[in-house]
Amino acid sequence: MGKRLQDKVAIITGSGSIGPGWGNGKAMSVLFAREGARVVGADIDAEAGAATQKIIDDEGGTGITVVADVARAADVERLVATALDAYGRIDILVNNVGIAVVGGPAELDEATWDRLMSINLKSTYLTCHHVLPVMIRQHAGVIVNNASVAVLGWAGVNYGFYAASKGAMVAMTRTMAIRHAPDGIRANCVLPGLMNTPLVHAALTRVYGEEGDIANLIRTRDAQCPLGHMGDAWDTAHATLFLASDEAKYITATELVVDGGLSARFA
């Protein structure tokens, strides 16, 4: 059986990891390379991006990494141009960049809103803005956006601003999918639930107790999940791989929930 993404060119944003271990973008990048893709990783942190690139290189995969802030138009334009210069086409775009902020309109200020929307939502607009014309010319392409089950209901903490950014991502993805279906382009979202990743460790330990108490965070979040434990970056990566592959060729304008049953409790 051949590799699922053989010779496909995939841009993956947030390809590094914010800390030790496997973040979503790092797992996606390595998994896509293992499945034959030519991975164009993008990360604002040069060292984190290089660490992922080294794994791909050491495993005999193909790819390059671009240091870029995908919330900046000039950086996204350079990212897309680099991918085209290197490989001549773009088959897959994965928007994985995002930050988690706890709080909503009553608790958080305007600057936090602007920062969250810029990183989580504007970055997705910018990459799609520059990649869609390429895919339209090819009459083929797949976009997978990493959203969250926070858009479906209460996810254990007050994710007011975060849920708003991810909800807008879902709405944009659905309308984009319908608009560009005649162009041979599919677009979907992955909705991870409570995940055990370095980003969660960095951003949320104080929400579940004392700052830096990762053990308590894991224990508390595991107990909230119907399966008895959080998911991990590989769960998100495998869902993204499926949606990016030809196995999902008749799937567009929808969301794949990866949450161990958590959102079934929202109803």
CATH number at residue 124: 3.40.50.720
**3 in any annotated domain:** no
**146 in any annotated domain:** yes
Mean pLDDT of 227-250: 98
- In whole angstroms, how far apart are CA 84 and each of 46, 97, 133, 261? 21, 21, 12, 40
The answer to whether the CB of 266 falls within 8 A of the CB of 153 is yes
Instruction: With a cut of 90, say whether residue 44 has pLDDT above it.
Output: yes
**44 in any annotated domain:** yes
**1 in any annotated domain:** no
What is residue 156's predicted lDDT score, i.e. its pLDDT? 78
Instruction: With a cut of 90, say whether residue 78 has pLDDT above it.
Output: yes
Mean residue pLDDT across the chain? 95
**68 in any annotated domain:** yes
User: pLDDT digit string (tens) for 189-223?
Assistant: 999 999 998 877 876 666 666 666 788 888 988 99
- 200's CB contacts (< 8 A; 6+ apart) are 100, 217, 221
User: pLDDT digit string (tens) for 109-124?
Assistant: 999 999 999 999 999 9
**61 in any annotated domain:** yes
**265 in any annotated domain:** no
Domain, as residue range, for 204: 9-259
Q: How many CB atoms lie within 10 A of CB 42?
A: 32
Number of separate domains in the chain: 1
Question: What is the spatial distance between Cα 230 and Cα 221, in angstroms, rounded to a whole number?
Answer: 7
**69 in any annotated domain:** yes
The residues carrying an active-site annotation are 162
Locus of tokens 């990566």: 237
